[in-house]
Amino acid sequence: MLIDQSELEVLLKNYDLPHCQVGGETWWEKVRSKGTPLIKKESDKTSLVLFIWQDPQGKEADSVIASVLLDVNSLTDHHSWTPVCLDRVSGTDVWFGTLSIDSQWRGSYSFIPIEKHQLPDLVQRTGDGSREAQRTWWMDVAGNQIHDDLNKLPMLVSGWGMSSPLHLPHAPLEVGWKEWEQGELNITSAERIQTIDWQETQLGNQRHCWLFSTAVGDAPLVILLDGQKWSAASGTLSVLQHLTDTKQLAPAHYLMIPSIDGKTRWKELSCYRPFWQAVIDRLLPMVQVQLGQSNGSISGYVVAGQSLGGLAALYAGVTFPEYFSKVISLSGSFWWPEENRMRIPSATESANDLPLNNIPRNSVADHILNDRVSAAHLNVFMTVGVGEKDMHPYNDVTYNAIKQKSGLAHYEKVYGGHDWMSWRSGLVNGLVHLMPA
């Protein structure tokens, strides 16, 4: 869509941007000097956020870009045929969009430029318009996802696509991550990361795992599921080292176990005992040997994961209590094993509460409450984002089950979504909670 000129003038004035020669080089220099997105207080609780994108192909007469989707994780709906889009300023290379957001929010966002044949209303009309057709369309256009190159903060490198960080004015302080974003921390050198080749006959697969230490000698081993997401490039290892150096976090060894692919991840991280048995029987001894070469050893364990990994982390805690009592679960998929509860949200009886007779059968909470496993030994740090409301009932009841059965649990609802920006904060906060210096 094209933006109305009178609306444009008011918009630019509100954000202290020149309203003459919009799209000219001087105008773009002003935008670059400010950095995007631009944020303005809207009320005591919300901010109006202005997103700006420059079409690299130029004006509409010269560009094949027919629309630009705005994907703000867990705020804009990517399950819809009418997604949130930017508007083009006629006769320019400028695309604009505004969104009203809670001033405590922190998350990631990206732009998705699409061509005419990819427009959702066209695809909907020429197809059957079904939920599956919409999902297929979205997965297709999501391949065009790009970060905001006008954002002065580093692009997010987490393996969840190209995106940029968005911090609203009252978002809680991120321990360690501010230093990373401001360029004060160096990326961790490859020489400090050891590779373990894990060939697992019982699972029928093999992968490279990575070992990183902020400790010398005896220290806890932190197992990070979806380990490829927490690479040196993501900044995670630099932040962990910084927090250890500044005495905010106890020294530790970190084992990153990657998920091989989507199918393997679904199998191994969905309460799959053979995976954890293989970790204990074969991977951990290899880690101990590797650590022993530099006089390191393991004093205990913490297991951490997000989404399915958050489910798997707690499953490991209740299934192998002699190993895993300290657990970090971020946006845990505690609806498992009843997959339809997330694919069809109406399968949840209430948006705000999950009565005890509606707990997913054979879920972790079900096993805890019926004393099939013990929770008394657990010390759990849990988070879920306010933007992932479908996840709240299952995380709520799992937390209550742990507490009811004498386990320790710290549970936070954070102003974010099903998003790496929430998880990176949650991981650090969980580690500081469970392993204070």
Contact 347, 340 (CB under 8 A): yes
Does pLDDT of 350 surpass 60? no
The percent of the chain in helix, strand and coil, each rounded to the nearest 5, is 35, 25, 40
- Region 342-363 average pLDDT: 60
Q: Which residues are CB-contacts of 242 (< 8 A; sequence separation ≥ 6)?
A: 176, 179, 180, 185
Phi, psi of 196 (to 5 degrees): -120, 120
Superfamily assignment of 177-434 in CATH?
A: Alpha/Beta hydrolase fold, catalytic domain (3.40.50.1820)
User: How many Cβ atoms from other residues are within 10 Å of residue 90's Cβ?
Assistant: 15
Per-domain residue ranges of the chain: 5-167, 177-434
Is the pLDDT assigned to residue 177 strictly greater than 90?
yes
Task: Give yes or no for residue 75 having a pLDDT over 80.
Answer: yes
Fold of 5-167: Immunoglobulin-like (2.60.40)
Burial of 161 (0-12, 13-18, 19+ CB in 10 A): middle
pLDDT for 347 equals: 44
| Structure-token pair, residue 414 | 């954070």
Mean pLDDT in residue range 138-163: 90
Give which of 401, 435, 71 is closest to 251, Cα–Cα. 435
Q: What single DSSP character describes residue 281?
A: I
Residue 343: what pLDDT?
58
User: Per residue in 255-310, pLDDT tens?
Assistant: 999 999 999 999 999 999 999 999 999 999 999 999 999 999 999 999 999 999 99
Question: In angstroms, what CA-CA distances link 205 with 178, 198, 259, 266?
Answer: 38, 8, 11, 14
